[in-house]
Structure 1
Amino acid sequence: MKKKFACFAMAMVMVLGLAACGGKKEEAPAAPAESSNDASVSVFKVGTIGPLTGDAAIYGQAVANGAKIAVDQINAAGGAIQFELQSQDDEADGEKSVNAYNTLMDWGMQVMVGPTTTGASIAVSAQANADRTFMLTPSASSVDVIDGKDNVFQVCFTDPNQGVASADYISENMAGTKVAVIYRNDDAYSQGIRDTFVSEAAAKGLEVVYEGTFTADTATDFSVQLTGAQSAGADTVFLPIYYQPASVILSQANAMGYEPTFFGVDGMDGILTMEGFDTSLAEGVMLLTPFSADAEDERTQTFVKTYQEQFGNTPNQFAADAYDAVYTYAAALEAAGCTSDMSAADICEALVGVMTTISVDGLTGQGMTWDASGAVSKAPMAVVIENGTYVLP
């Protein structure tokens, strides 16, 4: 079956403004600029939490790296708001993530970028809410992370947003296609996107002909799911999953000669840099992402160049979201009139009061705003993988 190479961009129309425990591995804190000795300068302690080791390390390392670049830039600019950064490893585990959070609190963390993954963020958000520590996760997209917590916000767009946007695009641009869905039913991220996708697909008259599930323990053999999708006549396979199982699916589909259009979401980001993966297997894969390293605007290119020089590889959207999170803190702390001698709890209350009033221009969205639920307002775009790179419209 011939693959379809198509992509789209959703318009982002907002008012422009300013603008992932234990501590198994700890990155050296990023020092504030020399001008921080000035009494008029406030140096805030910001911590990141994510999987710096383990299977999901590509995500946590990207978050730590993206945050570091933002901290370095802000400090070098010599403004009144500056940062000291420390990153902690949670191996994408909820219990270890809470331990990492406690380690950062012992260090004196005042604001948090993270955790990186959804499960860890759900665990930490409950603790941060009880402690009144402000939490801005760059990449945990489940609504369960922010639900009922007035001090927890997201930089990434939510799972419902991704599910709805994917269904809308497929129904509007791939008329008559038959869709199969393969998702991980023991993962809040995957399950959440699947739920909204299926609901929106039904509302739009999109035909879902097959659904197959897997768990963390069964993510090595997808022959049953792929055979089911192929037998049902699916010419598009929606994958609301992370890149590791997606790489196995692509490899096994290729081996059995099944060539649908594979359509993923932001968790697919990272597949092109996955060690040992043949990127030719991803040719024609589509995915939703708020960031492309191939974008030609000056800010993105500067970020990409700096990232490549410092870390030796190309940044993904997790790095970009973390970068935007730090700049969001700079905007919010200034808007709230916070100073670094304030307690984390006092800073939290101040930021809760201004988050719905600020607008931030970032790498992952122009004029980003937040509502009282903690969700960000920005739109995803779709890209297609061609010749080992993301291609924009």
Structure 2
Amino acid sequence: MIAPLAALALAASACGGGDSESEPSGSESSDSSGSESESADSGETFEAADCANGSTSADTFKVGSILPLTGNLAFLGPPEIAGVGLAVADVNSAGGAAGNDACFLSTDSGDTTDNSVGNGSANQLVDAQVSIAVGAAASGVTENIIGTFTDNEIVQISPANTATSLSGASDYYFRTAPPDTIQGGALGDLLIQDGRQRVAFIVFNDPYGTGLRNVVQQTVEDQGAEVVYGAEGDGDEFPPGQTTFSSEVTAALAAEPDAIVILAFDETASIIPELEAQGWDNANSYFSDGNLADYSDSFDPGVLEGAKGTLPGADAPDEFRDRVSSWYEDVEGSALDDFSYAAESYDAVILAALAATRGEGTDPNTIRENMRAVSGSEEGSEECTTYEECVALLEDGTEIQYRGPSGIGPINEDNDPSSAFIGIYQFDGDNVNQFQGAIEATSDEASQ
């Protein structure tokens, strides 16, 4: 049973949607050179921290990323890359991790339409002997590459995977995004709060899509609503990468729903026009983190006005957003206009650096053994909010609970966040998602 989350308190939060085509940096080189410029927002300057040739996790806190530079989640690449890059910069400015400098090696995860991209990048990070691999963004990509990292005993930390099937999937796999037992409950409760009683799903056949659908379905059915199309076991899912949706939309509308939940990535840009062409009012459509983006340049004004959606994550403070955007502008040449999963990416690196510091080693096994402890799993842990502050406590022999901009609680025995925030958004007349409120819930509450 998925416990209703409606009674939980709303907290202030905000996150913009957007798209950026900038290609993140982070290749191995003979030195740690990088561009440097004055940051207009944060007042700081940042430069790339490329990994030197021959460096390994034995002598460097070597951060690899496997995040979407191409494919149907490429819009998430810039904020995630920026979060990783800023964290590496903060680790270095505080003296490194376990006495070693930090560096950053970026690779492309691609998407599930071409597994060769993610496979090649995973092998590249293994060969580079990284301390951690941050990514992937898509749960389906992670399911394809998790064995590579596990077999080679490299810690993988995803800032965006939410598929329930990944809970406890490997001793070497962690995530700073909450599983869909939390987001699915929030999205299902949102439907019920809005009075929806006949729900249809247009969902792709992907672990993320079907896993989230299953939780939302259970949540709404437990509260008396009916799933009239796209239910678990009905076989209505479409394959990732599909570009035309006439038959799916026709079948969904024939079931006479009062709400349609779209669980997809880039395919959403083709689904929305088809729904509109067949007479559906998209104010009755619902989105999730995989497609909750800025559509102001994609559709005519008003097409999505009133539509709602959910996005895991707390409201990152303005100071953090200024700094992470400044890092991307300094290193990549453009400011961020989307901050999705930037905080979770940042916290993935900081947690790993603190684990290395606590265990006095930047190798993957030392990090793995100390991840839960620095997240607050130890009794009597003292809360700290910056890397520098947390390191000082560790050096004094104090157990810590790092509480970063993502707002997640301690890592549990499944290597998932034990608690997290889910933001609620609504599209305005310009087809831009605007924050309405946030629900904080624990994984225990969501699985009862």
TM-score, length basis structure 2: 0.70
Contact 2:67-2:134 at 8 Å conserved across structures: no
Instruction: Name the % identity.
Output: 25
User: Structure 1 278/107 Cα, relative in aligned 2: closer, same or farther at 3 Å?
Assistant: farther
SS in 2 for 1:257: coil
Q: What residue in structure 2 maps to residue 312 of structure 1?
A: 335
Secondary structure of 1:227 counterpart:
helix
1:312-351 superposed matches below 5 A: 312-334=335-357, 336-340=358-362, 343-351=363-371
Q: Secondary structure at the match of 2:69?
A: coil
Which runs of structure 2 are paired with 1:146-225 in the superposition (5 Å)?
146-171=167-192, 173-184=193-204, 186-211=205-230, 213-216=236-239, 219-225=242-248
Conserved in 1, the CA contact under 8 Å of 2:306 and 2:427? yes
Which residue of structure 1 lines up, in the alignment, with residue 254 of structure 2?
231
Give the partner amino acid of 1:316. Answer: F
Q: Which residue of 1 aligns with 2:74?
A: 57
Amino acid at match of 1:289: L
Query: How far, CA to CA, are the matches of 1:254 and 1:292 in structure 2?
Result: 32
> Hey, what does 2:383 align to over in structure 1?
none
Q: How far apart, in 1, do the equivalents of 2:50 and 2:110 lie?
A: 27
What is residue 143 of structure 1 aligned with on the other side?
Answer: 164
> SS of 1:281's equivalent?
coil
How far the C-alpha of 1:56 sits from its partner, in A, is: 3.0
Preserved contact between residue 119 and residue 188 of structure 1 (Cα < 8 Å): yes
Q: CA deviation at 1:54?
A: 3.3
Residue type of the alignment partner of 1:211: G
Once the two structures are overlaid, the 10-residue window that deviates more, 152-161 or 95-104, is 95-104
Rounded to whole Å, the distance in 2 between the matches of 1:153 and 1:200 is: 26
Aligned to 2:424: 382
Alpha-carbon offset, residue 48 of structure 1: 0.3
RMSD: 3.2
Structure 1 position 27, deviation (Å)? 3.4
How many Å apart are 1:167 and its aligned residue? 0.9
2:26 corresponds in structure 1 to: 27
**What are the within-5 Å matches in structure 2 for residues 257-296 of structure 1?**
257-260=279-282, 261-272=284-295, 276-278=298-300, 280-291=302-313
Instruction: Give the structure 2 partner of residue 39 of structure 1.
Output: none
Q: In the alignment, is the contact (CA less than 8 A) between 2:97 and 2:354 conserved in 1?
A: no
Q: Which residue is 2:102 aligned to?
A: 83
Contact 2:168 2:413 in 1 (8 A): no
CA deviation profile, 1:157-212 (whole Å, cap 9, x unmatched): 112222222112221x212543211111x211101111111112111112323227
Shift of 1:371: 0.4
The answer to whether the 8 A contact 1:112-1:136 is kept is yes
Cross-structure match for 1:37: none
User: Do the aligned partners of residues 118 and 74 (structure 1) sit closer, same or farther apart at CA in structure 2, a change above 3 Å counting?
Assistant: same
Distance 1:277 1:369, change over 3 A: farther
- Structure 1 range deviating more: 311-320 or 112-121: 311-320
CA deviation string 1:12-34 (max 9, x = no partner):
99xxxxxxxxxx9973354289x
Distance 2:183 2:259 in 1: 17
Amino acid at match of 1:144: S
State the distance in 2 between where 1:75 and 1:44 align: 10
Q: Which runs of 5+ in 1 are unaligned?
A: 1-7, 14-23, 34-41
Q: CA deviation at 1:130?
A: 2.3
Contact 2:347 2:406 in 1 (8 A): yes
Letter in 2 for 1:28: S
Encode CA deviations 1:314-372: one digit per residue, 9 max, x unaligned.
123133321221222233333x33334xx33343334366554463333332x522101
Give secondary structure in 2 for the equivalent of 1:91: coil
1:308–1:283 Cα change, 3 Å: farther
Residues 190 and 124 of structure 1: is their aligned pair in 2 closer, same or farther, counting only changes over 3 Å?
Answer: same
Describe the superposition over 1:106-127 as per-residue Cα deviations: whole angstroms up to 9, x where unpaired: 2220112112221221122222
Q: State whether residues 67 and 109 of structure 2, in contact with CA within 8 Å, keep that contact through their aligned partners in structure 1.
A: yes
Cα gap change, 1:150 to 1:188, in 2 (>3 Å): same
| CA deviation vs aligned residue, 1:49-77 (integer Å, no higher than 9, x gap) | 02312343223344223211222233234
Conserved 8 A contact 1:49-1:87:
yes
Give the whole-Å Cα distance in 2 for the aligned partners of 1:77 and 1:277: 45
Q: 1:331 to 1:349 in 2, by over 3 A?
A: closer
Looking at secondary structure, tell me which structure has more helix per residue. Answer: 1
Would you say how many aligned residue pairs link Structure 1 and Structure 2? Answer: 359
Supply the distance in 1 between the matched residues of 2:73 and 2:337 (Cα, whole angstroms): 17
Q: Is the 8 A contact 2:355 2:366 kept in 1?
A: no
Residues in 2 aligned to 1:9 and 1:60: alpha-carbon distance in whole angstroms: 34
- 1:344-383 to structure 2, matched below 5 A, reads 344-351=364-371, 355=375, 356-357=377-378, 359-365=401-407, 367-376=408-417, 377-383=419-425
**Unaligned ranges ≥5, structure 2:** 1-5, 12-22, 29-47, 52-58, 379-399, 438-448
Q: Do the aligned partners of 2:201 and 2:229 also contact (CA within 8 Å) in 1?
A: yes
Quickly say closer, same or farther: Cα 1:49–1:206, change in 2 above 3 A. same
Counterparts of 2:406 and 2:373, CA distance in 1: 24
Distance 1:280 1:324 in 2: 36
Q: What does the per-residue CA deviation read over 1:90-147, in whole Å, with 9 as the maximum and x for residues that have no partner?
A: 3224443233122112222011211222122112222222222111111121133343
1:116 counterpart = 2:137: yes
Secondary structure in structure 2 of the residue aligned to 1:205? coil
Partners of 1:219 and 1:140 in 2: how far apart?
A: 22
| Cross-structure match for 1:17 | none
Conserved 8 A contact 2:314-2:420: no
TM-score (norm 1): 0.79
